[in-house]
Structure 1
Amino acid sequence: MQIKLGHWFASIILMGALLLGGCTQLQDATEASQSPSATETSAPVIQANNPEMTNLPRLEGKATVVMVVKGSPITIEVDGTNAPITAGNFVDLVQRGVYDGLVFHRVVREPQPFVVQGGDPQGKDPNFRGQLGTGGFEDPATGKPRNIPLEIKPKGADTPVYSKTINQPPVLNHKRGAVAMARSQFPDSASSQFYFALTDLPFLDGSYAVFGNVTQGMDVVDKIQQGDRIESAKVTEGAENLKK
């Protein structure tokens, strides 16, 4: 029964992930099944050979980020060795203070543990009445949204594969405590939204970009409820590895 449920979740998520006005979100089964028209919208796509990729922040090595939720720390090891662009984007946003005050807008634990998702900049405004999960980071220097390419490094490969899903086992997988980027059905649509894996989610491997894992504070992640906020996020080690 668990195997069938896992395949069912995977099919719903991968076919039903939505794009709403620039959304970069991982949809749960209910919302995906109720929003068939959302896939009709479009978003800018960054191809792997696009020179715009060279302008994105990169993390050359590893960094440590400490995120505080309800007064308790969550320590994240961010892996720029195996996901340099995805990790660099996250560390850059942490340094900019983008995540401070943002809400966790999606928590899925039933019928089985799934993900805790946050990172929509619209959630910083407590008076925001729109649909959270539809926003991404806009670079103040350009006034344009920043989207990053899907970046997954297969085991045994020297470099990541960009802008497409893979069938090979990835170096960074969706084990419990993995931290990964949420996106729409467009591979190159991730921006600022991320999620914690509440359990092993192997059916997401090769389709979503994992860039780190929780090394301490998974008990804090397990207690996050929808509506809880990130009080702060700071780079405590490895900031010198970020290249802009």
Structure 2
Amino acid sequence: MSSEETSDLIHMDIPSGRVVIRLRPDLAPQAAERIQTLAAQGFYDNVPFHRVIPGFMAQGGDPTGTGMHGSDLPDLPAEFTRAARFERGTIGMARTSDPDSANSQFFIMFEPAPHLDGQYTIVGDVVEGMENVDKIKRGSGMSGSVTDPDRIIRMRSASAEG
């Protein structure tokens, strides 16, 4: 693939294998840029999937693993769309109750969640390796908190890897 073809692809290596993510700057240019920037900095390396709810989603992107923190960069404005839906493999930006609070945390859908459509920013989707996402260690309880969670080993732009 040329660097143009891979510019929106992210390789995320997790304990169960590689996951290839296609970012969607056409839907969420600021959020896609944020993921690219943080991945290039190595921000996501060794970051846990701290919240994993069976039949719903796996959330990561907080280096503290508490779900309460993000990067040192400013929060992003909401980039909600109805042009895409939260389906299996969709990647959304996590946020607080403030729609303009997405920062570094993201979640990957295990199953469709139409109640999220138009309420959260869709930043991309898994194009390869969803079977590896399915193997991420699940949490317990309503919050999905994970004890000794799986961690992102390495996350970089595919174009940076050559």
TM-score using structure 1 length: 0.57
Alignment correspondent of 2:116? 204
1:102, distance to aligned residue in structure 2 (A): 0.3
Deviations 1:129-149 (A, max 9, x none): xxx00111114xxxxxx2001
Q: Which aligned segments of 4 or more residues in structure 1 are displaced greater than 6 angstroms?
A: none
Deviations 1:117-168 (A, max 9, x none): 0110223xxxxxxxx00111114xxxxxx20011023xxxxxxxxxxxxxxx
Higher relative contact order (CA 8 A, sep 6+): 2
SS at structure 1 position matched to 2:95 = coil
Alignment correspondent of 2:3? none
Alignment correspondent of 1:117? 59
SS at structure 2 position matched to 1:237 = helix
Alignment correspondent of 1:231? 153
Matched, 1:151 2:96: no
Q: Which has the higher helix share?
A: 1
Matched, 1:137 2:71: yes
Alignment correspondent of 1:97? 42
Q: Distance in 2 between matches of 1:192 and 1:118?
A: 9
- The answer to whether the 8 Å contact 2:14/2:152 transfers is yes
- Read off the aligned partner of 2:156 and give its amino acid letter: K
SS at structure 1 position matched to 2:127 = strand
User: How many pairs align?
Assistant: 146
Q: Distance in 2 between matches of 1:186 and 1:79?
A: 22
Percent identity between matched residues is: 36
Q: Distance in 2 between matches of 1:182 and 1:62?
A: 23
Q: Distance in 2 between matches of 1:238 and 1:149?
A: 27
1:83, distance to aligned residue in structure 2 (A): 1.1
1:237, distance to aligned residue in structure 2 (A): 3.1
- The answer to whether the 8 Å contact 1:64/1:238 transfers is no
- The answer to whether the 8 Å contact 2:77/2:102 transfers is yes
- Read off the aligned partner of 2:21 and give its amino acid letter: I
- The answer to whether the 8 Å contact 2:7/2:157 transfers is no
1:172, distance to aligned residue in structure 2 (A): 2.4
Change (3 A) 1:71 1:115: closer
Cα RMSD of the aligned pairs, angstroms, is 1.7
Q: Distance in 1 between matches of 2:129 and 2:158?
A: 15
- The answer to whether the 8 Å contact 2:61/2:105 transfers is yes
